[in-house]
Each structure stands twice: as structure tokens, then as C-alpha cells.
């Protein structure tokens, strides 16, 4: 019997898909989430315990460790709005960097030495070469990326000092949802491209603003590597097994290796939905690199992991189901909001 796992931020988008996978594999999972951006309805497995609280509440986290004796921590809890990180850097350094330090302190106290960390391709900044490998230099261009990179450094130092073994999983663009659309992507505000394209197709927003069509790419719009959220979840389960089996710390990219432009996504969405996506071309969004595509081969070598869905339509189809499902792309809102 495996020791239970603590999943912080397990009520968020990527966290909840991972929790669902881990629970389906028969693992014992406790979620710690402050529900600032998470949704309790995103945890659909009755066997998963949700504790509402802060990662940095050491007393609470200590009590959870004393009760459950976790064998590993998967740390998703973080803020992830790049623009907000520029205007409110301290909020990001506090939540994304300082809070996990407190969590790590408790892990050290309890001798828990396995940590799977949600890192990001934003730690690379504007890549010097493409596709991006783990050997690319990490020069983040915004506080969000820096807040995550600092945790990568902290994890490496804890590894040297007290044997922590960690997996820094550098996500590219998470997208899609579970094929039954029981859980999905619900950010408030929603700033991500795929949900916004589909909201425009559904008439929920007047139009989609495309941030720049004068980039040095074939159609002038930005190119990204969109990775299905369930493939991300699978990589977490594998990273957990790797570390729990005594494997050494790893850092790897999680992407498909396929680049898709904003215009290509709009065209695919029109095809899938049978609707027109009203589009307005606007200026570039500050901080957007023109092209971000992963070389995911290291994850394959280290974890035997590979994205099983590489066609953007496979992300768009379930996301469209989610928007048209019983929740209409939204979990119930808290009364106060």
C-alpha cells in the first residue's frame, strides 16, 4: 500500500485532472487548496479528502503530515497570471515562492523527500534556440517565471542538503479537459486562448482579440505548444512513480513538440463548432514570445512519457463539450463572488 499523497492546488485546473487520475489508480490523495481560484466541485472522487487552507499555514500542514504521513507532495498551488505578476510581483513571490518554502520546511521535519513541482516554460523566457530543450538557458522575462524558477533552485538546494528528490515539470500550454467533460477549465478571469476562442464561438463574448498578427511566424500570429491536460496529469503520475521508486531529481519539459498558431486554432475551432469565431486583431500583448515549442524527448527518456494527443482538435473537442455541458464551462460560483 502506497503512502498517501498531498496535492496542493488540487482543486485547480491541472491539479484536479491529476487528482482524478491518481484516484482512478487507487492512490490515496489529500488535497490542500485555499479555493481562491480552485473549485471544490472539481474534485469528483468521493475518496479524495479536500482540506481548505493555505500551503503556508505550517500548523495546518504539520497537522496533516502528522495525521497522514504523506509519502510525497505534488505542488500545484500557485498564481499564474503573467500580466498580474508584472503589476503585483510581491503577490507572486509571496504565494509562488515563499509559501512553498514553508511547505518544504514541514516536509523536511517529517522526512518526506518526494516533491513534484508545477514549473513552466515561462522559466525559459525568450528561447535562444528552438525547439526548447532542458539545456536552454532559463532567463524568465516576468515575475511569474522568476517566482517558479526560484523554487526550482530551492528544490535543487534542498536535494543537496537533505536528500529531497524533486521533479520540476515545465509545462507548455495546458488545454482541453477530461473527455466526459465532468471537470474542465474554469478561470476567473479567463485569459487563455482556447477557452476564449470557444467563448467567442458560443457568443459568450463579442469577439476574440488576437494579440498581434505581425510576428515573424508564417501567419503572423504567435505559435505555442498546446498540451492536453490529461497528458500532463499522466506525466505527474509517472514522475511520482519515478521519485517514489528512488529515482533521482529531474527537470523536464511537458509539451507535444507541435507548434500551433493563434490563427490555426481559430480555424480549427470554427471547423469543430460549426460556428464563426468573430475576431478582432489587436496589438501584441507585452511579454509574449513569438514562438514557444517544446522538445519533449527528455520526458520520454526519463519517464517513458509522451503526449498521446498532438492534434489541436483533440484539445478543442472536449473543451467545447465542457462549455456546452451541464456546467456550461463554469463551476458554481461562491455566494460572495
Q: Which chain residues interact with ligand UDP by CB under 6 A?
A: 173, 191-193, 196, 208-211, 222, 224, 262, 285, 288
CB 185 within 8 A of CB 134: no
Nearer to ligand UDP, 17 or 224 (CB): 224
For the chain, the maximum distance between any two Cα atoms, rounded to a whole number of angstroms, is 56
Shortest gap between Cβ of 271 and ligand UDP (angstroms)?
18
CB 166 within 8 A of CB 116: yes
Nearer to ligand UDP, 262 or 302 (CB): 262
State the first-to-last Cα distance of the chain, in angstroms, to the nearest integer. Answer: 41
Known catalytic residue: 79? no
In 3D, which of 31, 60, 28, 305 has the Cα closest to residue 183? 31
What's the burial of 327, exposed, middle or buried (CB within 10 Å: 0-12/13-18/19+)? middle
Nearer to ligand UDP, 11 or 208 (CB): 208
CB 34 within 8 A of CB 79: no
Q: How many residues does the chain have?
A: 337
Shortest gap between Cβ of 212 and ligand UDP (angstroms)?
7
Shortest gap between Cβ of 289 and ligand UDP (angstroms)?
8
Q: Where are the alpha helices (DSSP H) in the chain?
A: 13-24, 58-68, 82-87, 89-92, 99-110, 143-162, 193-201, 229-244, 262-273, 297-303, 312-324
| SS3 labels along 40-89 | HHHCCCCCCEEEECCCCCHHHHHHHHHHHCCCEEEECCCCCCHHHHHHCH
Nearer to ligand UDP, 104 or 210 (CB): 210
CB 206 within 8 A of CB 328: no
Nearer to ligand UDP, 110 or 281 (CB): 281
Shortest gap between Cβ of 141 and ligand UDP (angstroms)?
12
Shortest gap between Cβ of 41 and ligand UDP (angstroms)?
23
Strands 208-211 vs 223-224: parallel, antiparallel or unpaired = unpaired
Shortest gap between Cβ of 192 and ligand UDP (angstroms)?
4
Residue nearest to ligand UDP (CB): 222
Choose, from 13, 124, 144, 226, the residue flagged as catalytic. 144
Nearer to ligand UDP, 94 or 191 (CB): 191
Tell me which residues are annotated as active site. Answer: 144
Amino acid at each position: 500500500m502506497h503512502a498517501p499523497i498531498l496535492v496542493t492546488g488540487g482543486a485547480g485546473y491541472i491539479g484536479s485532472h491529476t487528482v482524478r487520475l491518481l484516484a482512478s489508480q487507487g492512490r490515496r490523495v489529500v488535497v490542500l487548496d485555499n479555493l481562491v481560484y480552485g473549485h471544490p466541485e472539481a474534485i469528483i472522487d468521493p475518496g479524495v479528502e479536500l482540506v481548505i487552507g493555505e500551503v503556508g499555514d505550517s500548523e495546518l500542514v504539520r497537522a496533516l503530515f502528522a495525521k497522514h504521513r504523506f509519502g510525497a507532495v505534488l505542488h500545484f498551488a500557485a498564481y499564474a497570471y503573467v500580466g498580474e505578476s508584472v503589476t503585483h510581483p510581491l503577490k507572486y513571490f509571496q504565494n509562488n515562492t515563499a509559501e512553498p518554502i514553508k511547505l518544504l520546511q514541514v516536509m523536511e521535519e517529517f522526512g518526506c523527500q518526494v516533491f513534484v513541482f508545477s514549473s513552466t516554460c515561462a522559466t525559459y523566457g525568450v528561447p535562444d534556440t528552438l525547439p526548447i530543450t532542458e539545456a536552454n538557458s532559463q532567463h524568465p522575462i516576468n515575475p511569474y517565471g522568476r517566482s517558479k524558477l526560484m523554487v526550482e533552485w530551492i528544490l535543487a538546494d534542498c536535494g543537496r542538503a537533505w536528500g529531497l528528490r524533486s521533479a520540476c515539470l515545465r509545462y507548455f500550454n495546458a488545454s482541453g479537459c477530461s473527455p466526459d467533460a465532468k471537470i474542465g477549465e474554469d478561470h476567473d478571469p479567463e485569459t487563455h486562448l482556447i477557452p476564449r476562442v470557444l467563448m467567442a464561438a458560443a457568443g459568450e463574448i463579442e469577439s476574440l482579440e488576437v494579440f498581434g498578427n505581425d510576428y515573424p511566424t508564417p501567419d503572423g500570429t504567435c505559435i505555442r505548444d498546446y498540451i492536453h491536460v490529461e497528458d500532463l496529469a499522466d506525466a505527474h503520475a509517472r514522475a511520482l512513480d519515478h521519485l517514489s521508486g528512488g529515482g533521482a531529481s529531474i527537470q523536464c519539459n511537458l509539451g507535444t513538440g507541435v507548434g500551433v498558431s493563434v490563427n490555426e486554432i481559430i480555424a480549427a475551432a470554427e471547423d469543430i463548432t460549426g460556428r464563426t469565431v468573430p475576431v478582432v486583431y489587436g496589438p501584441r500583448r507585452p511579454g509574449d514570445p513569438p514562438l514557444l515549442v517544446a522538445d519533449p524527448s527528455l520526458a520520454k527518456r526519463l519517464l517513458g512519457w509522451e503526449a498521446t494527443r498532438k492534434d489541436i482538435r483533440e484539445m478543442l473537442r472536449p473543451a467545447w463539450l465542457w462549455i456546452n455541458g451541464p456546467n456550461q464551462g463554469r463551476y458554481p460560483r461562491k455566494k460572495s463572488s
